[in-house]
Structure 1
Amino acid sequence: MFVGVRQMTLQDAGNELSFPALVMYPTQQVPVSQGFGPYVMEVSLDAPIAPGQYPLVLVSHGSGGSHLLYRSITCHLARHGYIVAMIEHPGNNRVDNRLMGTVDNLQYRPRHLKLTTDYLYQDARFAPYLLPGNVAVIGHSMGGYAALALAGGNPWFPPEVFKPDYQGPAPSLVDVEHDARIKALVLLAPATVWFKPKAALSGVHVPILMLSAEHDPYTPAWHNDIVLEGVPDPARVDSRCVSNAGHFSFLSPFPLKIKQGGALPTTDPEGFDREQFHEQLKQEILAYLNLKLKTS
């Protein structure tokens, strides 16, 4: 199977916002090299979807990130029987980060994942090929927050309230949209502080694969502890720490020209092989989703 790609712009009419989405899917059409910004992928633009029905996987990037940063994972999933939708979160991406740290961002992120799901299940090009109500979310960093919120988590704001020396206003519950179609989560170095209050994750009943990084100053191990201590059944969480990895090690390997620039997202702890790790990571995620989505 090969990888087909369709680019689209989705609308959040209620908030007068739009956001780009890149959808990957199985196709029988032979791919060619296609550029997407600075990245090149072997895909077929607007190719016919291969016959069959497939689970849907949503991908939520980290704060200030991009929907193109998980290519090694998403191409692998599409090649092996998934329709994968990657959106770029408005106001919290690489070119427009004005909503970082706001309540709006906490509300918009899960809302836009749900709008994407609604759109694809209603779109004549994709709906016939989607398994009904069989959706997973992969979330990295702030994307992990979005995944948990969409799957039933109830976040609180502001997060600073949980610091011992906090003297500001009392926290308030953030009104977020949930989606019962979510059947599994993959959390990569998730940001979870908004779920620290007791019972904030009591509505999350789906199985979770959760990976943390050994050297992560942004979402250290206690973020994972919030999930393990907050969900109703921690036995449904498969959690492990990736040895010697950093927070950005979950991003797909960058082209050499970008790596030579030395930007923080391209760097890893000394001795960590990101290329080798992503060969293993994409297979681990595929095996997990096959188990949770295709055998349920």
Structure 2
Amino acid sequence: MSFRHVFAAALAAATTAASPALAANAGFMLLHEPRPNGPPVEVGVWYPTDAATAPMSFGSWGHQVAAGAPAAGQRLPLIVMSHGNGGFFGGHADTAQALAEAGFVVAALTHPGDSYKDQSRATAMADRPAALAALIGFMLDASPLKAKIDPGKVGAFGFSSGGFTVLAAAGGKPDLTKVPAHCKAHPGNFDCKLTAGRPIPADALTAPWVHDDRIKAVVSAAPALGFTFGRDGLKGIKAPVQLWKAADDEILPGDDYAEAAHRNLPKPHDYRVVVGARHFDFLTPCNAKPAPEVAVICASAPGFDRAAFHKTFNAAVVRFFSDQLVAP
């Protein structure tokens, strides 16, 4: 199962101060990060600004931003964001907006080869942490906001495949040879259906895992392939971790994903299980009636209020990154 068409339809339809001065609003710009061996990478960037905002839509998603406005503050902390399989840079727009309003620069990429418009490398998991490290370098060295960012204050946020990505980029070393046995036992799980239809490329099985010690704090929500790490695979993570699990996750069910990471992280960490939440409840709440193609992503379980949850979720994410990257 892929969500390529889901996100394509969506786009077509289209608190603590973390800097010397807390900005009133969030600015936004869309950048294109050059790559030596492929087309540029699409990067959405949110940042603090004092300019007036207006609604901006991503199909069924949206955010309240000042497009292209000047950034406020100096030596701002940076958060890089990694989306899930078949996603795009705007899947966590409300969380990015909340972070920007709290004084962070937030850069979210659309992963090459694993997005709503291109699934050619969807199971090449080693590509992902490498792309995230390249994004950090781009934001610090070449982006229009490079002079505003403190290179010593970098965090990473990821969801689903992105949750796996940030754990790997922060020092985790997964063992993908564990996937066949897992999928023999759980053939109906999303990851197993995905790899059955698109096996992990041979070059991805032998590629080195890129770790980036510039990452000083990690938020991982509903991480995919958590079982591939084990305790030895997570011992390289030195950064503080906030880990989230949807209690009723229908895409990555059971204890092999977030729960496996929780069991095997060697250092104390902030682990939160969201009662009543499904997998996609970590995505930005839909603020428009969704097309049938996106209904699966926008829908929550009866009685679960995604918008209310995101107020709590965003506040917790902002607080965690503020405590780890800003507090003395």
TM over 0.5: yes
CA–CA separation in structure 1 for the residues paired with 2:291 and 2:117: 19
Match of 2:32 in 1: 9
Change (3 A) 1:196 1:33: closer
Report the counterpart of residue 279 of structure 1 in structure 2: 311
Match for residue 86 of structure 1 among 108, 128, 132: 108
Counterpart amino acid of residue 210 in structure 2: E
Letter in 2 for 1:160: V
Aligned match of 2:13: none
Q: Which protein is richer in strand relative to its size?
A: 1
Partner Cα separation in structure 2 for residue 65 and residue 268 of structure 1: 18
2:256 is equivalent to residue 222 of structure 1? yes
Deviation at 1:36, TM superposition (A): 4.1
Which residue matches 1:161? 180
* Alpha-carbon distance change, 123 to 117 in structure 1, aligned in 2, over 3 angstroms: same
Aligned-residue sequence identity (percent) comes to 28
**Which one of 43, 61, 73 corresponds to residue 21 of structure 1?**
43
**How many angstroms apart in 1 are the aligned matches of 2:308 and 2:49?**
26
- Quick one: structure 1 residues 132 and 161, their matched pair in 2 at CA, closer, same or farther if it must change by over 3 Å? same
The answer to whether the aligner puts 1:140 opposite 2:159 as a matched pair is yes
CA contact (8 A) 2:227 2:256 kept: no
111-120 or 30-39, which moves further after superposition?
30-39
Instruction: Pick one of 212, 221, 234 that aligns with 1:179.
Output: 212
How far residue 238 of structure 1 moved from its aligned partner, in angstroms, is 0.9
How far 1:124 sits from its partner (Å)?
6.3
The TM-score, its normalising length taken from structure 2, stands at 0.81
Q: How far is 1:264 from its partner?
A: 1.0
Given candidates 56, 60, 79, the residue that maps to 2:82 is 60
Q: Distance in 1 between matches of 2:127 and 2:139?
A: 18
Q: 169, 193, 211: which is aligned to 2:244?
A: 211
Which one-letter code corresponds to 1:188 in the other structure? Answer: A
Please, which moves more after superposition, 257-266 or 55-64?
A: 257-266
**Conserved? CA contact 2:79–2:154, under 8 Å:** yes
Q: Deviations over 1:174-233 (max 9, x none)?
A: 412111110111111111346334511121111111110111132233312332333332
The normalised TM-score by structure 1 is 0.89
Q: Which aligned runs of 4 or more in structure 1 are off by greater than 6 angstroms?
A: none
Q: CA deviation at 1:160?
A: 2.4
**Are 2:274 and 1:242 equivalent residues in the alignment?**
yes
Q: Structure 1: how far apart are the matches of 2:222 and 2:102?
A: 24
Q: 1:172: Cα distance to partner?
A: 5.6
- The Cα offsets for residues 95-120 of structure 1, whole Å up to 9 and x where unpaired, read as 2122222xxx3122111111111011
Higher relative contact order (CA 8 A, sep 6+): 2
**CA shift at 1:3, angstroms?**
1.1
Distance across 2 between alignment mates of 1:121 and 1:53: 11
Deviations 1:253-291 (A, max 9, x none): 113221666621111122110011111111111111111
Deviation at 1:159, TM superposition (A): 4.2
- Evaluate the alpha carbon distance shift between residue 271 and residue 38 of structure 1 in structure 2; reply closer, same or farther with a 3 A threshold: closer
Q: Are 1:70 and 2:103 matched, yes or no?
A: no
- d(CA) in 2 for partners of 1:120 and 1:52? 15
Letter in 2 for 1:192: L
